[in-house]
Amino acid sequence: MEKTGITIYGCEKDEEDMFRRYSPHYGVEPTIIKSAVSAENAALASGNCCISVTHKTEIALSTLRALKENGVAYISTRSIGCNHIDIEAAEKLGITIGNVAYSPASVADFTLMLILMSIRNAKSVLCRADVHDYNLCAVPGRELCDMTVGILGTGRIGQAVIDRLKGFGCRILAYDSKAEYATLGELLQQSDILTLHMPLNADTYHIIDRKRIHSMKHGALVINTARGSLIDTEALVRALEIGRLGGAALDVVEGEEGIFYHDCTNKPIHNQLLLRLQKLPNAIITPHTAFYTEHALQDIVENTIQNCLEFERGKR
């Protein structure tokens, strides 16, 4: 039986191991490309109509054209979100875009960790302990059972966060652009903690802007494990610096491209908002890693293969 070829771009070692482990089971022959997809290396996909890409790289018209010229008809992104791909350009070129689902527990668990770290001043506690200062923090922590948590976005991940929060006894408010449980205004005004789980699109870009930040409870905490541009970062940083908000825990940040997933130890970082955030004692930054669990990685790899095979079957 002839194997189906899939070109896997931007493939890290852990993903490569899983693609090589699961591909034989599905009758697939993966072509592993460590570098991200680009117009310059699109020819490496020649012979395979299906490719897989990562969410870490923007895929613009020039790259899509080059892929089309090399016979690519289907792009499966190894992510839930597709905002890194020029969808409109892909449609005009006749290239189909698919995404993957993976264990919502990965991001939901990480979100809960960030919430708990934020309400217990974990960044300050750990930094002080690192320099052998074992005094109690000047400000005591808070308990979730005394707080209201607002959930922006109630898809699979948002719902998984809600399921976990129920065990803590806190009050939960939820808002989704497709189904309202509370109005956005009510949620912002009443929530001690705001956690974002929406896709990024034209309607949700900067959904948390300066005006909405101003309408939030004084001292509220913001958690974002979805996409950086859901928040107007300049407005968020300003609100944190003047004490309007109590803290933020961000796994995603505007302008993270080219910084997150790279060792920048000895490199200059030009994202001034990120640098300002990291200097704040009440801001926790993690490098877009909430999804990164063994379980989720397996889901991503297997669903990528299945997506490509389904497209091939439909094409035939």
Q: Where are the domains of the chain?
A: 4-102+294-315, 104-285
Distances (CA, A) of 88 to 65, 78, 85, 94, 148: 13, 19, 9, 10, 39
Distances (CA, A) of 216 to 34, 135, 211, 221, 236: 44, 32, 9, 9, 11
* Matching fold, domains 4-102+294-315 and 104-285: yes
Query: Could you give the dihedral angle defined by the CA atoms of residues 277, 77, 201 and 258, in that order, rounded to the nearest 10 degrees?
Result: 30
**Is 3.40.50.720 the CATH number for 104-285?**
yes
In the prediction, which pLDDT does 1 show?
54
Task: Return the CATH number of 4-102+294-315, one of 3.40.50.720, 3.30.300.30, 3.40.190.10, 3.40.640.10.
Answer: 3.40.50.720
In the prediction, which pLDDT does 72 show?
97
| Residue 174 three-state SS | strand
139 vs 31: CA distance, rounded Å: 54
14 vs 9: CA distance, rounded Å: 13
Q: What are phi and psi of 93, to 5 degrees?
A: -85, -5
Distances (CA, A) of 263 to 267, 268, 280: 8, 11, 22
Which of 55, 84, 197, 288 is catalytic? The answer is: 288
Let me know if 15 is a catalytic residue. no
Distances (CA, A) of 198 to 67, 152, 178, 184, 189: 29, 6, 11, 13, 19
Let me know if 65 is a catalytic residue. no
Q: At what angle do helices 13-26 and 294-315 cross, to 10 degrees?
A: 50
Let me know if 180 is a catalytic residue. no
Of 71, 18, 12, 66, the closest CA to residue 36 belongs to: 12
CB 169 within 8 A of CB 125: no
Q: At what angle do helices 104-119 and 294-315 cross, to 10 degrees?
A: 150
Q: Which amino acid is at 30?
A: P
Bridge partners, 39 (sequence order)? none
Query: Could you give the dihedral angle defined by the CA atoms of residues 248, 229, 51 and 299, in that order, rounded to the nearest 10 degrees?
Result: 30
Give the pLDDT of the chain (316 residues) as one tens digit per residue.
Answer: 568 999 999 999 999 999 999 999 999 999 999 999 999 999 999 999 999 999 998 999 999 999 999 999 999 999 999 999 999 999 999 999 999 999 999 999 999 999 999 999 999 999 999 999 999 988 899 999 999 999 999 999 999 999 999 999 999 999 998 777 899 999 999 999 999 999 999 999 999 999 999 999 999 999 999 999 999 999 999 999 999 999 999 999 999 999 999 999 999 999 999 999 999 999 999 999 999 999 999 999 999 999 999 999 886 5
222 vs 245: CA distance, rounded Å: 8
Distances (CA, A) of 281 to 119, 142, 213: 13, 16, 19
How far does Cα 40 stand from its chain's mean position? 27
CB 31 within 8 A of CB 7: yes
Helices (H) and strands (E) counted in the chain, each on its own, are 11, 11
Alpha helices in 166-260 (DSSP H): 184-190, 210-215, 233-241
Which of 55, 227, 254, 312 is catalytic? The answer is: 227
In the prediction, which pLDDT does 137 show?
86
